[in-house]
Structure 1
Amino acid sequence: MKLLHSGKVRDVYRDGDDIVLVASDRVSVFDVILPTPIPDKGKILTAMSLWWFEQLRDIVPNHVISTDVPAEFAGRAIRCQHLAMVPVECVARGYLTGSGLRDYKAHGSVSGVALPPGLVESSRLPEAIFTPSTKAPVGEHDEPMTFDEVVHKVGPETAEDLRQITLAVYRRGFEIAQERGIIIADTKIELGWDPSGQLVLGDEVLTPDSSRFWPAEKYEPGRVQPSFDKQPLRDWTVSTGWDKTAPGPVVPPHVVEATRARYLAGYERLTGSAWS
């Protein structure tokens, strides 16, 4: 196998005509890879993505071929179809938090989508919105894009397809998670073209690395929500006074364990399966 790319979290290999996508235990916050891994994170995210790909198969095809991968990657890798990835981060938001909240406070909109006045931290939006961003190189920050900027980047037909697929994936994910007591506040998906020119869902999908998962029973607008994702890491790094530029700070063991526990709890509640 040949290493093609080492990203923030995943390593991409070519194996013949196939791609082997390996989920590492690396973790990034604010687009910076932290020096401390989260044990089992790669396996948890891989298992969750495979579960979601099945739930979404009728909405959009995916890149999965099999889990037949080299032994050293077993449990944390997927054999995939090679895609030409779309040069846009496709993001859907159903709730206002994070960078979306910051944009709203500054402009009254997110990625050019005007929102009603008076919204607060974690407000549910009137409807889910498409809020794309740029794909920044490792160590740099993604920047919000308006829909018109996406049209300029990929053309009107593809831009509309990206919006419709992203929102359909979010809505399906939201409905399924809601039945299991989880609110998916937002999510980011990766789409690419297969050799026939069809848009296909790639990378990972609806995991704590690409989405915010909140326990529904604790939801309360007006404050930051408890979560099943890497929010403990985000909160801890902010508390250190770190300026969000590389290198990131070394993460203490208690924060590592708290983050791992969040990933596990989210997986088990969502899938109904105990982690083993």
Structure 2
Amino acid sequence: MKKDIVPILTTHIPELKLCNRGKVRDVYEINDTLLIVATDRISAFDVVLPSGIPYKGHVLTGLSEFWFKYTSSIIPNHLITTEIEHMGNPILLQYKDTLMGRSMLVKKVRVVPVECVIRGYLAGSGWKEYQKTHTICGIKLPGGLKESDRLPEPIFTPSTKATVGHDENITFSRVVDMVGKKLAEELKENSMKVYLRACAYALDRGIIICDTKFEWGITADNKMILIDEALTPDSSRFWPCDGYEPGKPQHSYDKQFIRDYLENIRWDKKPPAPVLPPEIIQKTSEKYLSAYKTLTGKNLF
């Protein structure tokens, strides 16, 4: 890392209305738009840790911007700009040092209450479910698959969008019950389209996108657009192609490194979370920055 920075764990812009302070993002309302600020907070097992990860917010915003632009020719999205000077609000200029590089001005939409997960490989909760039933979210899979195996074809495995606690994996028929058949089919088709395009790009750069999560919104004129973040180490499992070997967990660019550390120290996964050692913080930061450079071909700083 080129320079030392102090992680930003929270933001305060009293002149603006704070809509939501999530696990990672602080969201402010500006007329008919939203300002999404990616902090350096990190969560594990649905608990926000007391330690921030330097550069994390910049990586999440930078990668989201990259993917929004890369996929905009096939799917519209909510991004307006990441440039503070172009957001048209003088208040934001007063907080430029905090906001720069970690903020997106986006369209305000009606959020579809479904987490749209696409899995191309067998890992995480999908692997756990497969071992018990040979299914994921009601989708029957062939027998004999190993952990981290590539699936015969990517699958759509939605989940509920929980505001607190764990998201719950659900079947496609449940999505139909929640939002209607037409919208459910659109969610599946559009999520798959973005995933397949991103996978092809990432593979050329030595990264396997094991799985990823998308969120979608409906505009005032009833159009579906991609929202929230896109294909970041927080919303995806990124594996380096080098060393990929089915039958075991893979090295990754995401926060699995932190989860493994917390498992090793036998934290009970209940608040308060333990403070992370400096070496774990630095290694995690390096993983995020490496994912950004590998995918975009650019250094963030």
Query: Which consecutive residues of structure 2, in runs of 5 or more, have no partner in the other structure?
Result: 1-15, 85-91
Secondary structure of the corresponding residue to residue 169 of structure 1 = helix
Secondary structure (helix, strand or coil) at the match of 1:226 reads coil
- 8 Å CA contact retained: 2:55, 2:289: no
How many residue pairs are counted as aligned between the two chains?
A: 275
C-alpha distance in structure 2 between counterparts of 1:41 and 1:7, whole Å:
15
1:31-110 to structure 2, matched below 5 A, reads 31-69=46-84, 70=92, 71=96, 72-110=98-136
**Letter matched to residue 148 of structure 1:** S
> Could you say which residue in structure 2 is the equivalent of 1:235?
260
Q: Which residue of 2 is the match for residue 22 of structure 1?
A: 37
Matches within 5 A, 1:1-276: 1-69=16-84, 70=92, 71=96, 72-138=98-164, 140-276=165-301
SS in 1 for 2:27: strand
What letter matches 2:49 in structure 1?
L
* Sequence identity percentage: 49
Structure 1 distance, partners of 2:68, 2:294, is 17
Q: Which stretch has the larger CA shift, 37-46 or 247-256?
A: 247-256
What is the alpha-carbon distance in structure 2 between the residues aligned to residue 29 and residue 210 of structure 1?
A: 13
The whole-number CA distance in structure 2 between the counterparts of 1:110 and 1:249 is: 32
* 8 Å contact from structure 2 (residues 116, 215) kept in 1: yes
Alignment deviations for residues 201-243 of structure 1 (CA, whole Å, 9 cap, x no partner): 0111000000011110110001110111111111111112123
Structure 1: how far apart are the matches of 2:45 and 2:156? 20
- Give the Cα separation in 2 of the matches to 1:242 and 1:190: 30
Aligned-pair CA distance for 1:121: 1.0
Worse overlay, 199-208 or 245-254: 245-254
User: What is the letter of the counterpart of residue 100 of structure 2?
Assistant: A
Q: Retained in 1: the 8 A contact 2:24–2:40?
A: yes
Secondary structure at the aligned position of 2:159 is classed as: coil
Query: Which amino acid in 2 is paired with 1:186?
Result: D
User: Which amino acid counterpart does residue 160 of structure 2 have in structure 1?
Assistant: T
Q: For residues 102-145 of structure 1, what are the alpha-carbon distances to aligned partners after superposition, in whole Å with 9 as ceiling and x for unaligned?
A: 1111221111111111111101000000000111123x011101
Contact kept in structure 1, 2:120 and 2:154, CA below 8 Å: yes
CA RMSD of aligned residues (A): 1.0
4+ residue segments displaced more than 3 Å: none
The Cα of 1:67 is off from its aligned counterpart by 1.9
Distance of 2:265 and 2:179 partners within structure 1:
40
TM-score (norm 1): 0.97
Question: Counterpart amino acid of 2:232?
Answer: T
Query: What is the CA–CA distance in structure 2 between the aligned matches of 1:245 and 1:168, rounded to whole Å?
Result: 37
